[in-house]
Structure 1
């Protein structure tokens, strides 16, 4: 074949291949665009508005609004604070064991009322209204533990308490610390509890009423808990626990429990504030 014909055939072949490659590329781009249009953006909350409910008694099954990878820390902690100025619990909170507690917002306070026998001890679980927090933090609230039937009085039944908790949700066993006020086995007290691998130790010195301002503070592996009169004043150390086993990300919030078949406990929280800390000394500021 003459050389000029060979060159012409070669040019036609190159043009044909280029056209076919362009068509395939357009088809692939259209497919990718279709996938992107249906994708959920990273970090988007696809749950219904309102607090999530987690599992049943003794289980953490169920979704939570707070993804561990998006857990606030440092300066972002202040945004987790809640003055309960609305009529319902904001969707930023999640509720562990809603079948054990009535949750409401009234009079500028979060109110938790026991509806069934519950206990936070060893491997037993009770209700917890929480947010997910990473790293060092400080949580503070004015807490009132009262008889649901006689709201002007502290609970008359034993093991009726409420306060603040930090808990590892990922562990196969129970790992948490808390500070609570109410009636323990002996009298009205502010109790602190440290639970490691589902083994709890606690102490509950006498307190003058069912009301107290409570604070739980984490710096590294140290968890410092403080208490003071609900009207204010100087903070008093309640306990400090060293927990190097605790992960960076924890459930932190309002806890309560009433260990009886006919509970009579309502615990109110007049605002819950979160704040960053850099040292254990910051916890008493």
Structure 2
């Protein structure tokens, strides 16, 4: 990034592996391993990474890794590259970074490897790149450099999308944990701080992501859940109305009655009576039908 460098491919090959266990090794080239068909496992010193058709891994130079293929064949396409002085063949990497925020983010990650799921964009670029390398011509070096530049940008875009999706999935997990906690403890006097502590998030941040995901606040969600449980108790059990507030985590019967009427338009007593009337009507209809 501090001078004029471009990616330069030193080796590329297709290979179908069958029942193969490669020992740990490292090399001074960056490597992209792409699974065309079958399954395999790529391991680093601290991680085993199962891979299948459409998966790719980009390994930084010097990272120890191996390849394990058990059972069915696994066909792969590997490309190894370094960064060399441009020597008149452009664009330089730092020029690409100026025009690609995704590539800038990828370089900033400084991770030993990245595993991605390719919808096919990367594979088509890889295939075109290898085809060009197999057919030497005067323009080959320029075309190859353009293709590998395109390859790095496509990988960077996939990596950026994967990070974004990962963040969204993490937010979804926090919200699901909050919902689960509310359903588990709605019958207690729980507060926002209790829910936030249960999911290990700051209350303000949890409230923000909860509302964005659920389209309502946690307080609104909890209140609606409590009213639904109260409606069930009023309609299907003979629990005294004066006790139902305790069943749904409210320590004020007056507040329960006011909240119930706000959500249903009826007092708890009127709601129970309406359900009893409805049940009696349904029983009469059933008797008439039998007759």
In the superposition, the TM-score normalised over structure 1's length comes to: 0.25
In the superposition, the TM-score normalised over structure 2's length comes to: 0.25
Looking at CA atoms only, which structure, 1 or 2, has the larger radius of gyration? 2
Greater RCO, 1 or 2 (C-alpha within 8 Å, sep 6+): 1
